[in-house]
Amino acid sequence: MSMGSIGRSISNQQQALLRGQARSKPDQIRQRELWSSFCFFSSTVAGDIPQITPAGVLLPNEYPIFVTPQGQNGQGYPGGYQLNLRDTNLPGVNRVSDQQNFSYWELGVSVVPLRQDVIARDPTSMSFGDPNPEDVDQLCGNVVLQIVYLTNAITLGLIGDFPSPGGPSIVAPTAMDYSMGQNVAQTSGGFAEGAAGAPWDGRQARASNTGGGITPAPALRRKLDVPIFLNSGDTYSFKFLVTRPIQLRNVKNGGTGGFHLRFDAWAVESFREQG
C-alpha cells in the first residue's frame, strides 16, 4: 500500500471516529489540551507511602494517570490531598464518556515542581524550585510512557521522546548555570550547596532551558504520524513505568525531593452537549 493510501486510510478512520458511532452521535467539534499528572514525593511523615526514598531513590513501579478525577485522592498524592485542575482536566475516570470521541495528535511530558501544599507536609524532605536538571535527565532516559487499553499496555517510548519546549535540559552550560560543592574553593561561581563527599560534592547544575523562559507549549508537542483514536465508551489510561531504581538527588544534595510528571495531549474532540 502506498503512503498516500495509508494517509487516506488514517483520515477516513478519524472521520468515522469523530462523526460518531452507534453509542454517540456528536454534533460539535473542537481542539483542546488534555492533561493528567502523577505526584512523586519523598516524606518521613508516618503513614505516607512515598515513591522516593530519603536517599533520593525513585522506586520501580507502575504509576498510572487519567485514573483519578478532580477532587479525589490518588495518582501519588499523600493521603488527604486531592487532585485539582492543575493536576488533571479530564472529567471522566479511566473511560471516554458516551458523549465524546478523541483523536490524540500531539503528546508531551513535563517534569514540573511539586505543589506547595505537598512540600509543606515535610519541608525537610522536599523543597521549592525546579527539579534539578541532572535529575530530569535521569528521568527522561529511564521512565517509560505507556497507554493501557483494559489490561493491554502499549509502550509509546521513553518520556524523553516526548519533550516539553522550554523544559530544563543540560545544554550549553555556563558558570551561571551551576552551584558549587561545600568543599570546593570559592572560585567557580554560585553558592556552595550539597554535602561533602562523592558523588555530590562537585558543582551542581541548576537551570538551563532549551526554549528560553517559555512555559510548555501544547501546540509544539511531538506530533504523531498516526494519531491515537479513543472512541466513546473506551476504557483506557496512561502510565509511567519505572523498571529499575533511579538515583536522584535528595534535598541535602541539591535536589527537590520530588516532582510532578505531567502528561498532556493536544486532541481533536467531537462531542454532544449534555442536557
Pairing of strands 143-149, 236-242: antiparallel
The pLDDT assigned to 218 comes to 53
Count of other CB atoms within 10 angstroms of residue 125: 24
Rounded to whole angstroms, the Cα distance separating 42 from 50 reads 5
The predicted pLDDT at position 171 comes to: 46
DSSP 199: T
**pLDDT score at 229:** 85
pTM of the model: 0.77
- Interatomic CA distance for residues 11 and 8, integer angstroms: 5
pLDDT at residue 228, as a whole number: 87
Q: Tell me, what's the pLDDT at 205?
A: 63
pLDDT at 272: 74
Interatomic CA distance for residues 113 and 119, integer angstroms: 10
**Tens-level pLDDT at each residue, the chain (275 residues):** 455 576 666 677 666 666 665 455 777 888 888 899 999 999 999 988 999 999 999 999 999 999 998 889 999 999 899 999 989 987 677 777 777 888 888 888 888 889 999 999 999 999 887 788 888 888 888 999 999 988 789 999 998 888 766 554 444 555 556 665 555 454 444 455 555 555 555 566 655 444 444 455 555 667 888 888 888 778 888 999 999 999 999 888 888 899 999 998 888 888 777 65
What's the CA gap between 41 and 50, in Å, rounded?
Answer: 6
Q: What is the pLDDT of residue 19?
A: 66
> Residue 107 in contact with residue 261, Cβ under 8 Å?
no
| Residue extents of the structural domains in the chain | 33-168+206-271, 171-204
